[in-house]
Amino acid sequence: MGKNSLPETDVPGGPHVPVLLEEVLSALSPVAGCRIVDGTFGAGGYSRALLEAGATVVGIDRDPSVAPHVEAIKADFPDRFSFVPGTFSELDVLVAGHGPVDAVVLDIGVSSMQLDQAERGFSFMRDGPLDMRMSRDGTSAADLVNDLDAEDLANLLYAYGEERKSRRIAQFIVAARQTAPIETTLELARIIERAIGRKPGDAHPATRTFQALRIAVNGEFDQLVEGLFAAERLLPEGGRLAVVSFHSLEDRIVKRFFDPDKGGPAASRHLPQVEAAPRRWQRAGKAIKSGPAELARNPRARSAVLRSGIRTGDAARPVDYSGLGVPQIRGAA
Ligand SMILES: C[S@@+](CC[C@H](N)C(=O)[O-])C[C@H]1O[C@@H](n2cnc3c(N)ncnc32)[C@H](O)[C@@H]1O
């Protein structure tokens, strides 16, 4: 298992255990009467804790399967919880009409439910259709694996999975699908294993390929960038944003968004050097990771990184990808 991706465990089922919960609560500092948008509702672990602290919560999730968790929380907090289906890339639009918002939290990536349910196709450890669509619509992982040519497939695996053996994997995939389309997670995992082998003690050889396909299928980098800027537009001065990410490619985007001096959009080369660029976030950017107690309880916390910031009064930036380090697929338009 690479240190930068979500660890897959072979513990099936079980509810999603919220990651870095205490740290997220401390970053958001919920108080009675404040309104918080949970842009990645999942099993509602963060939402429930925020509600218990007295906040009003608007949950958002793109996965229709979260419905039972939404109902459970609505039953417990009928007056202070509401849910809007959709993607957090447009969270400001989705929550318009719900009143002023004091904080936003994003816990990006897949939930344990998504990973553990074989039929969702996220896991190379459980046999299921090669799907990976959080929203359950659009292009699936099987579509990409069966339709992209070898070069585009290799470029995707390299850019989104940092897979150094991307070309060899792509060649094996293209050869295998000449007999019949690749339809299941284990079929793909076996092809990758044949292509690049498997060393005892190392991460499963399919880890990076599955990560890359999932990011592509769900447009995860675009979602993240758009969601960060949507939160910047939405939050007033003093508003808080907390983001938990699960691999280094995402964390780099979050870090640079909060701290443009690290290469982000406001570090304009057109400004005179003496003039500091306006800052949209203060007390921002520090990476917080799980401590030993949480790691012992929850192996999936291993690669989680929390970054948070407090909104200044400076006007929100237009969406700007430059300087955020968003991986680009070679040859893609
Ligand atoms: C890691 S889980 C969140 C778990 C949650 N914090 C909890 O404590 O139960 C991520 C959730 O975010 C959702 N999600 C991921 N990307 C999304 C997006 N762009 N827009 C809306 N929901 C998204 C997934 O469907 C999943 O349910």
With the most atoms of ligand 1 within 8 angstroms of its CB, the residue from 22, 132, 134, 221 to mutate is 134
Write down the pLDDT at residue 4: 40
pLDDT score for 299 = 87
The closest residue, in CA terms, to atom 25 on ligand 1 is 63
Non-local CB neighbours of 199 within 8 Å, separated by 6+ positions: none
Cβ(112) to ligand 1 under 6 A? no
Query: What is the model's pTM?
Result: 0.93
* Tokens describing residue 104: 């936003």
C-alpha torsion 310→312→316→317, nearest 10: -90
CA of 38, closest atom in ligand 1: 6
pLDDT at position 170, please?
98
pLDDT at 8: 52
Asked whether 6 lines ligand 1 (CB < 6 A), one says: no
Q: Which of 5, 16, 25, 40 to mutate to test the pocket of ligand 1 (most atoms within 8 A of CB)?
A: 40
Ligand 1 binding pocket includes 111 (Cβ within 6 Å):
yes
Residue 84 φ then ψ, to 5°: -125, 120
Q: Report pLDDT for 275.
A: 65
Q: State the distance from the centre of ligand 1 to the C-alpha of 214, rounded, in angstroms.
A: 13
Q: Is 66 in the pocket of ligand 1 (CB under 6 A)?
A: yes
Cβ pair 210, 89 in contact under 8 A: no
The beta strands (E) that lie in the chain are given as 35-38, 56-61, 81-85, 103-107, 240-245, 281-282, 288-289, 305-311
User: What is the per-residue burial (b if ≥16 Cβ within 10 Å, else e) of 281-299?
Assistant: beebbeebebeeebeeebe
Q: What is the mean pLDDT of each run of 10 residues along the chain (333 residues)?
A: 42 74 97 97 98 98 97 98 98 96 96 94 96 97 98 98 98 98 98 95 95 98 98 98 96 95 58 70 92 93 96 97 95 77
- Ligand 1 atom nearest 48 alpha carbon: 8
Could you tell me if the CB of 87 is within 6 A of ligand 1? yes
Q: Residue 238: which region, alpha, beta or left (left: phi > 0; alpha: psi -120 to 50)? A: left
